[in-house]
Amino acid sequence: MPFSRIIGTGGYLPERVLTNTDIENLVDTTDSWIIARSGIRERRIVAEDEFTCDLAEKASRKAIQAAGKRPSDIDLIIVATSTPDVVFPSTACLLQERLGIIGPPAFDVQAVCAGFLFAIDVADKFIRTQSAKCALVVGAETFSRILDWSDRRTCVLFGDGAGAVILESSDEPGILSTHLHSDGRFKDLLCVPTGVSRNYQKLQDGGAYVTMEGGEVFRWAVTAMSDIVQETLDANSMTLDQIDWLVPHQANSRIISAIGKRLGLPVNKVVMTVEKHGNTSAASVPLALDEAVRDHRVKPGNFVLIEGFGGGFTWGSAMIKM
Ligand code: COA
């Protein structure tokens, strides 16, 4: 059975920068509070006429170029997003049309901030079972559109962006293992309680916004993302010192530091990019991976453990040999 390998990464952040000082003009908060509680200094916000698929397209083109491929080489497209352009068609189908790829399957997966891990898991299985040879896997979000900009508990934490990888079939590993979990009992702790089938009138009247029990989410995120690192190591008969890099979901520097401390992982093995773009949900892990690949922290042959955690709750990880 072949492996899937990451052969190219790409990322894109919208041009408009919204600093903590800018947010001080919107809600009762301070730059120092936001930095102390989240590590976030600024985030990117889409232009009025910019949508999730626009970000996905830019990140995808960079990943395709980095992989030395053409769009016509791609035979599977998966987009992880909770902020699709429209209810349907999927953002993956919109992206497919933009890239001029005709025929192969294109679909979205929705697992909020863990979405990219779910998408990677599915793409890996397509490749391992020889249903695809070259997959484009994207995490893309415009969370600024589902934030209540008068709610200081949430609006300071999130931003917009997209990240992408190209996975190719290979005799060499590759993705060594993937691990996914969900627990719907916690559905109310981090959610957008408005939708198309439920509370549609509210959506028409006032919009759909993220609500969150911050303290509870913090505790669960640290526990789940620490435990899944151990699960991933055990599945590969590896120890922590054999990982070159941990690329965790970029929600909050305090969550990331707490995971590192709990595991006993030195900070110089953890990729942290959250201060520059906040929590970009499904885009966070591929954006962080792309940055670390492009600045040569992550090198060919490195063992990289990626992991995410999001609303649902959902959480997942993958052990990758780059
Ligand atoms: N600016 C200033 N004060 C704020 C604030 C803001 N942006 N947001 C909340 N506060 C206030 C609260 O109202 C509270 O005031 P009170 O004590 O008068 O009620 C006080 O700060 C402390 O709030 P608390 O919730 O205890 O802070 P915290 O240390 O838990 O930090 C979060 C809040 C949201 C930063 C933290 O809980 C967190 O990071 N949670 C996880 C969020 C996350 O990553 N979600 C996505 C996961 S995918």
Query: Is it the case that residue 206 has pLDDT exceeding 80?
Result: no
Q: What is the pLDDT of residue 207?
A: 80
Comparison of pLDDT for 208 and 62, the residue scoring more: 62
Please state, as a whole number, how many other Cβ atoms lie within 10 Å of the Cβ of residue 195: 13
Looking from the CA of residue 212, the nearest atom of ligand 1 is 45
CB 247 within 8 A of CB 139: no
CA of 15 to the centre of ligand 1 (A): 27
- Say whether pLDDT at 202 is over 90: no
Q: Are 182 and 308 in contact (CB under 8 A)?
A: no
CA–centroid distance, residue 153 to ligand 1 (Å)? 6
Residue 41: what pLDDT? 98
Cβ contact 286:52 at 8 Å: no
CA angle 247, 312, 37 (to 5 degrees): 55
Q: How many angstroms is it from 211 CA to the middle of ligand 1?
A: 12
Catalogue the active-site residues: 113, 249, 279
DSSP states of 2-68? -EEEEEEEEEE--SEEEEHHHHHTTSS--HHHHHHHH---EEEE--TT--HHHHHHHHHHHHHHHHT
Tokens, residue 70: 């053409």
pLDDT at 229 over 80: yes
Categorize the per-residue pLDDT at 299 as very low, low, confident or very high, splitting at 50, 70 and 90. Answer: very high
Query: For residues 95 and 79, is the Cβ–Cβ distance under 8 A?
Result: yes
Q: Is residue 54 over pLDDT 80?
A: yes
Check residue 87 and give its pLDDT. 95
Averaged over 240-246, what is the pLDDT? 97
Q: Quick one: pLDDT band at residue 200, thresholds 50, 70, 90?
A: confident
Task: Taking residues 85-91, report their average pLDDT.
Answer: 97
Q: Coil, helix or strand for 91?
A: helix
Sequence-distant (≥ 6) Cβ neighbours of residue 259 within 8 angstroms: 222, 225, 226, 229, 246, 248, 265
Range 135-168 burial, b when 16+ CB lie within 10 A, else e: bbbbbbbbbbebbbeeebebbbbbbbbbbbbbbb
Rounded CA-CA distance 58/178 in Å is 27
pLDDT of residue 257: 96
Residue 204 confidence (pLDDT) above 90:
no
Whether the pLDDT of residue 198 is over 90: the answer is no
Give dist(CA 149, CA 156) in Å, integer: 9
Calculate mean pLDDT across residues 96-125: 98
Does 282 sit in the ligand 1 pocket, CB within 6 Å? no
pLDDT band at 68 (very low <50, low <70, confident <90, very high): very high
For ligand 1, atom 15, the nearest C-alpha belongs to 153
- Bridge-partner residues for 169, per DSSP? 4
Nearest to 313 by CA among 221, 184, 193, 218: 184
What pLDDT, on the 0 to 100 scale, is given for residue 178? 98
CA–CA separation, 277 vs 275, rounded Å? 6
What percentage of the chain has pLDDT greater than the value 70? 100
Average pLDDT value over all residues in the chain = 97
> Which of 112, 153, 285, 315 has most ligand 1 atoms within 8 Å of its beta carbon, as the pocket-test mutant?
153
pLDDT given for residue 283 in this prediction: 98
Output the pLDDT for position 86: 96
> In this predicted model, what pLDDT tens digit does every residue of 121-177 receive, in sequence order?
999 999 999 999 999 999 999 999 999 999 999 999 999 999 999 999 999 999 999
Tokens of 37: 């509680």
User: Scanning the structure block, which residue is given the tokens 């030195």?
Assistant: 266
Estimate the crossing angle of helix 31-38 against helix 253-263, to 10 degrees. 30
